[in-house]
Each structure stands twice: as structure tokens, then as C-alpha cells.
Amino acid sequence: MKTKLTIKNGKSYWQANLGMSGGVWRRKFFPVDPENPDQAQKDALEAIRKAKSDRKSFGNQWADLPPVERVEVMRILDEIKKASLTLRDVWTGYQAGTTAKAPQAKSVELEKTVAEFLSSRKHQGCRPDYLASITWFVEKFAEGRGARQVGEITRQDVDEWLRGMKGGPDHKNTGYRRLKTFFMWMVECGYISADPMRGLKPIKSADKVPKIFTLDECRRLLESSRSDKATMPTIVLGLFCGIRPHEVARIRTSDIRGDMVILESHITKTSQRRIVPLPPNAQAWLKLCKPWVFKPFRKPLDRVCSVVPWSHDVMRHTAASMLLAREQDAAKVALWLGNSPAILFRHYREIVTKEDALKFFDIWPNK
């Protein structure tokens, strides 16, 4: 049993892993309050303490049962499982004076559930890029299967579709996650009684070390952007703060307040409010391009990007690596970046030294 800081549905939580029960991992999530960030971790630790205490208490009760009763308990639990029921189903049925029955799936065609699912996502206010992604994957899966009843979709159907999908592991794993969301929604709506993807695992892929800028490349990029006031804010905020280009495009001048940048929920990718420190050298660079102009950053077409080798999210990767090396605190940096500590450790740990990080945050105009 342990705790960890994680991102769930775009919000920061302390997760308490409470061990396995009934073949399912039990977890509790405690939302992080920006005004009192330590309380969520305390609550998660208390949940683990209570779970250990309960487990010890229940373990003692089990140990006190005669062997014959233990065998009977396990036999009954096995019969309940074979009937596609849970112990809770049986007990709830007894309390209501009825016989517990396995949930029956509704008879509905796949294409109808696809349309309803995508409509529900639109009404939930999901980001356009997420909507485009989940629409593409779900509709691709439904091609040639639209007239089938959703209860007929099997694990083999999904597995074969994922295996036959073109693209690398990252693309296939995105498809895995999108379909998983779709099938879990159908379970919640009662269209199917169980997720056909149960037991399917995402594709394992070797972690790739992300490309980051060298100190010399950072200086060249900043110097080359001096003449372009519409590009410099994106470069400065991306390079020193790790703010995504599309997030910068939604920023207003009032969001930059002294030594911090306030990213409201409508700005961020995760729809979660973030407060990101603005280093002194970044403040100095921003003063060169007042009044600030924030616009979508079209990196392949911008003249300044020709002076350094470019790769996907290279400014954010650089910022994350430098911040982690300087702060030596993954939880703190994760909150700034709107990411999880696990991602930071997997991708950025020990890429740069603390000495290089200090030199990075000492890159000033005219120095």
C-alpha cells in the first residue's frame, strides 16, 4: 500500500493504493486543493492506515473461522462469481426480498451507441482535439460493425482491430484508451454487462528519451526571436515555464502577474487551473517584446525555428528537464506543468545536471 500524486480527469489527486480485493485493485483519490496542497496527501495516508487496520482486523476474524466454514465461504463465493454476480448483488437482493440476477445488456446496434456516446462527449465540454481523436478511433472501430448488437462485440474483435491498426505503439495505445473509454461508458449506460476489453493490455514500448535543447541552442533561439514580438512570448513561456504553445495562444496580458503566470481552466490542456512560476530571466526576456502578442505558434513555418533543430514538444521537454534538475522535486514540478510525477521521472530524470539547469536559468538578454 502506498500513495502517489497523479492526474485524473485533468485534476491533481493524491492516490491511495489500498491493495487488491476480489481480484480488483482498490484505490481512493483525494483532490489537491491549491490553497492547502498538503491536506490531500495526509488524507491519502490516513486512508492507507485505516485499510491496513481493517485488513488486520478482518484477517483475525478469518483466522478464527473453523476450516470447514472457510471452505464453505470460498465455495459460495465461487458459485456467485460463476453466476456473474457479486457478493454485494446477493446481499442487496436479500435485503430487498428479491433474487439477485446478473445484469442483462440492452439490445442496441453499435452505430447508435457510437452516435450517442460522441454526443455525450460534446455536451461534456471536451476539448476539440480530444473530441477529434476519440471520434476518429471509435468511428474507425465501428466501420463494418455498425449493424451488430453491442452485446455481440467480443474481446477478440477489439484485439484483432488493435493489432491490425497502422501506426506505432503510441498511436495504437491511444486507440486502446479511446476504445476503453467508449466501452466503459456503455457499461455505465447498461448497454453491455461487461467491458469486452477486460484483460487486454496496452502495448509495451521502450521509453524514448525526449529531445531537449542544449544551452547554446536555447541562446540562439532566444536571440533569433528578438525581432518577432508575436513569437517571443511563446518561446519564452514554453522554454522557461513549460507552457504548451496552444496554452500560450489562449493567454491574455492580465494572466502574467509579476513572477507567475496564471493559467485558468479554459486555457490549459487538462482543464485544470495552474499557477506557473515565471523565472527572473524569463521576465527580462518578456520585457523585450511588450506589448505582448499571443497567437497560435506555427513552428514549421516560423523563421526563428530554422536556427535550431526542432522536434515535437522540444521546448516543454527542455523546461521540464531543467526544472526537475534544479528543483529535485517531481511533485512540485508536476503541478507546475500539469503532468504526473511518474511521467516526469520516466522521461526527464537525470537528463541534465543541476549545474546545467542553473546555467539555463541564467540565460539573460545581452549577457
Question: Residue 312 has what pLDDT?
Answer: 79
Establish if 127 belongs to a structural domain. yes
Q: 286 and 228 in one domain?
A: yes
Establish if 76 belongs to a structural domain. yes
Q: 117 and 90 in one domain?
A: no
3-state secondary structure of 204: coil
Question: Residue 101 has what pLDDT?
Answer: 58
Q: 8 and 73 in one domain?
A: yes
Grid cell, residue 160, equals: 484483432
CA distance 284 to 290: 11
CATH number of the domain enclosing 175: 1.10.150
Which residues are CB-neighbours of 101 under 8 A, at least 6 positions away? 85, 93
Measured over all CA atoms, what is the biggest interatomic distance in the chain, rounded to whole angstroms?
83
Domain termination residue (choose one: 174, 189, 204): 189
- Provide Rg for the chain, Cα atoms: 26
Q: 356 and 219 in one domain?
A: yes
CA distance 224 to 32: 40
3-state secondary structure of 251: coil
CA distance 357 to 367: 17
Q: 275 and 158 in one domain?
A: no
Grid cell, residue 328, equals: 529535485
The rounded average pLDDT for each run of 10 residues, N- to C-terminus, in the chain (367 residues) is 73 78 70 84 87 76 77 83 74 73 68 92 83 93 90 90 88 92 89 86 75 92 81 90 88 90 87 91 89 61 66 88 90 88 72 91 88
Nearest one of 335, 340, 338 to 34, comparing CA atoms: 335
Question: Residue 301 has what pLDDT?
Answer: 42
Question: Residue 300 has what pLDDT?
Answer: 41
Q: 260 and 158 in one domain?
A: no
Question: Residue 304 has what pLDDT?
Answer: 59
pTM of the predicted protein model: 0.60
Nearest one of 333, 331, 328, 336 to 354, comparing CA atoms: 328
Establish if 199 belongs to a structural domain. no
Question: Residue 295 has what pLDDT?
Answer: 64
Q: 54 and 119 in one domain?
A: no
CATH number of the domain enclosing 273: 1.10.443.10
CA distance 66 to 235: 70
In the chain, how many domains are there? 3
Residue 237 β-bridge partners: none
Q: 295 and 159 in one domain?
A: no
Establish if 196 belongs to a structural domain. no
Establish if 354 belongs to a structural domain. yes
Domain termination residue (choose one: 63, 96, 129): 96
Length of the chain: 367
A 10 A CB-CB count for 91 gives 11
Q: 184 and 292 in one domain?
A: no
Half-sphere exposure of 302 (CA within 13 A, CB side): 22
Cell 513569437 appears where? Answer: 231
Establish if 241 belongs to a structural domain. yes
Establish if 254 belongs to a structural domain. yes
Q: 148 and 52 in one domain?
A: no
CA distance 15 to 2: 8
- Tell me the backbone φ, ψ of residue 115, rounded to 5 degrees: -60, -40
Domain with 6 in it: 2-96
Q: 288 and 233 in one domain?
A: yes
Q: 90 and 115 in one domain?
A: no
Nearest one of 320, 332, 263 to 37, comparing CA atoms: 332
Question: Residue 44 has what pLDDT?
Answer: 86
3-state secondary structure of 281: helix
Establish if 89 belongs to a structural domain. yes
Is residue 181 a contact partner of residue 134, using CB atoms and an 8 Å limit? Answer: yes
Terminal alpha carbon distance of the chain:
51
